[in-house]
Amino acid sequence: MKQEINKFPSRIGSDPDPPIQLVALMHQNNLYTQKLKGSKSPNPDLCGCFSSVMNRLRIISGHLCPAGSSELRRDLRSSACGSTAGCSGEDVVVVHGRRTAIGRAKRGGFKDTTPDELLSAVMTAVLTDVGLPPDKLGDVCVGNVLQPGAGALMARVAHFLSGFPETVPVYTVNRQCSSGLQALLNIAGAIRSRTIDLGLACGVESMTLRSMNNPGDLSSRLSDHQKARDCIIPMGLTSENVAERFGISREQQDSFSLSSHQKAARAQNSGRFDSEIVPVSVTLVDDEGRERQVTVSKDEGIRTGTTLAGLSKLRPAFKPDGSTTAGNSSQVSDGAAAVLLGRRSAVEALGLPVLGVLRASAVVGVPPDMMGIGPAVAIPAALQQAGLRLEDIDVFEINEAFASQAVFCVEKLGIPLEKVNPNGGAIALGHPLGCTGARQVVTLLNELRRRGKRAYGVVSMCIGTGMGAAAVFEYPGP
């Protein structure tokens, strides 16, 4: 048939007197996407007819996803109607989220606090804020990396410390640095499969009390397999690999780190974190063994006085001629975060608010020896699932495990820097491993709400042993 088409001009040319035919056709100039981005539209009268556009979209979407069709038909859905996804009762929505301040490990406010206490603080706060009795929760999932068995016991203890009834189950998940996000994706999956209606996704880490130096029990055959061997490379060396192989200079890394501190300081000083941070009262033990009560309500890692000159003087931390330093790596921290999720229909039935909608997610594998490139692969995968383009996203929360890998991912994807971590990232705030993903979701949705208009945001991070995760959220507007 294609050959037939190619023959078309010659067919016309060979016809001595071809009849002339007038043809009329119509098209709509991106009508749906333009209108749905109502607040961005240059044409104000388009905003008024939002509900009629939603109705139009619902009808056209019905052509592709007819009621009663059990097939997901994801490929077409994402290219056809994903970018203009309407509201569905089946949507997985974020109701609310809170986090603790992020403390400096071993020296900060949480150095004498166990993770179950941190976890309990955010679990309690989220439910109290929205007035939801804990027995409404179908499940609780906690992301954790360093506790034995990802802290299964610790999580159940936190659960009871929070006054949750024994009838509500809880479990933990460990996908290293993405554990907090993975907890959210697990709860979302349970909601989608109609196993539960509402669930709490959390993340917690005390890097004061547990360290990353216990690899567990591994086979001696590890050394026979290159990729398996690469899994035990220290994270700092994977950062050096990314910097070397992709030419990310020390100056780029330091300047990115400086910017992280400056953005975080600005956010802290202007009170942007105040609504998301749950103040936690703890007992602190000083060097002489004296106890005192303190309330921790400010992120402790932000250094307002940091300068490029100061950063550039730091010595490489992982190899003598390397470029990764303590100043351009994420900080070792303690903290917790919790996010309440539900099926939209259940959430609305309970009169709970909708802070965000989970539109898509992806977890991908990358070479273990440069695990930091994970977001560069995961973000496009999640966007494709969502049927969105990079330009459709207003805010990217990309975990700053190392400046090297963060800079690489941002440059590789061509993300404008002003869209990346507008309130700073893990280099300034800290990276409590199991908590980070949930913390990023809380910070992202708060930022989008602060901006006050419907928008999309992405949360992404690299994952040790060579993976990347990303999730796309929509803030539906005020």
Partner 1 sequence: ARAGCGSLFVLDQTKSGVALVGSWAWGDGLFDVTWSEANEHVLVAAGGDGSLQLWDTTNQNAPLRVVKEHAQEVYSVDWTQTRGENLLVSGSWDQTAKVWDQTLSRSLTTLRGHQGVIYSTIWSPHIPGCFASASGDGTLRIWDVNAGACRLAIPAHSAEVLSCDWCKYDQNIVATGSVDCSVCVWDLRNVQQAVNQLQGHTYAIRRVKFCPFRSTVLASCSYDFTVRFWDFSRTPPLLDSVEHHSEFVCGLDFNLHIPNQGICSYPVFVLQSENPIKVVEGSDFHLWICGF
> CB of 11: closest distance to partner 1 in angstroms?
6
3-state SS string over 141-202? EEECCCCHHHHHHHHHHHHHHCCCCCCCCEEEECECECHHHHHHHHHHHHHHCCCCCEEEEE
> CB of 452: closest distance to partner 1 in angstroms?
22
Told to judge if 87 belongs to the known catalytic residues of this protein, a careful annotator would answer no
Determine the Cα angle at 369 with ends 336 and 224, to 5°: 120
Q: Does 292 bind partner 1 (CB under 8 A)?
A: no
Q: Does 89 bind partner 1 (CB under 8 A)?
A: no
> CB of 40: closest distance to partner 1 in angstroms?
10
Q: Does 31 bind partner 1 (CB under 8 A)?
A: yes
Dist. CA 410–CA 462, nearest whole Å: 13
Q: Does 28 bind partner 1 (CB under 8 A)?
A: yes
Determine the Cα angle at 272 with ends 185 and 265, to 5°: 105
> CB of 361: closest distance to partner 1 in angstroms?
23
Q: Are residues 445 and 416 in contact, defined by beta-carbon separation less than 8 angstroms?
A: no
Options 177, 202, 409, 435, the catalytic residue: 177
Dist. CA 336–CA 98, nearest whole Å: 9
Dist. CA 55–CA 53, nearest whole Å: 5
- How many residues at the interface with partner 1, by CB under 8 A? 46
Told to judge if 177 belongs to the known catalytic residues of this protein, a careful annotator would answer yes
39, 48, 74, 76: residue in contact with partner 1 (rule CB under 8 A): 76
Tokens 């006085």, residue located: 305
Q: Does 454 bind partner 1 (CB under 8 A)?
A: no
Widest Cα–Cα separation across the chain: 104
> CB of 48: closest distance to partner 1 in angstroms?
12
Q: Does 70 bind partner 1 (CB under 8 A)?
A: no
12, 135, 216, 289: residue in contact with partner 1 (rule CB under 8 A): 12
54, 80, 228, 237: residue in contact with partner 1 (rule CB under 8 A): 80
- Residue 408 phi, psi (nearest 5): -60, -50
Q: Provide the phi-psi class of 338: left if phi over 0, else alpha when psi is between -120 and 50, else beta.
A: beta
Distances (CA, A) of 381 to 256, 375, 388, 415: 25, 9, 10, 15
Q: Does 50 bind partner 1 (CB under 8 A)?
A: no
Dist. CA 180–CA 295, nearest whole Å: 24
Distances (CA, A) of 227 to 242, 244, 245: 16, 19, 17
291: which strand partners? 285
> CB of 472: closest distance to partner 1 in angstroms?
18
Residue number, 113 or 385, with CB nearest to partner 1: 385
Site string for partner 1, 141-180 (x = CB under 8 A): ----------------------------------------
> CB of 101: closest distance to partner 1 in angstroms?
44
Residue number, 72 or 309, with CB nearest to partner 1: 72
Spacing of C-alpha 94 from chain mean position: 13
Q: Does 22 bind partner 1 (CB under 8 A)?
A: yes
Stretch that binds partner 1, among 30-38, 110-118, 230-238, 397-405 (CB under 8 A): 30-38
**Which contiguous run of DSSP H or E holds residue 142?**
strand 139-143
Residues that bind partner 1 (CB under 8 A): 1-2, 4-5, 7-9, 11-13, 18-35, 41-43, 46, 52, 56, 59-60, 62-64, 66, 73, 76, 79-80, 83-84
Give me the active site residues, please. Answer: 177, 462
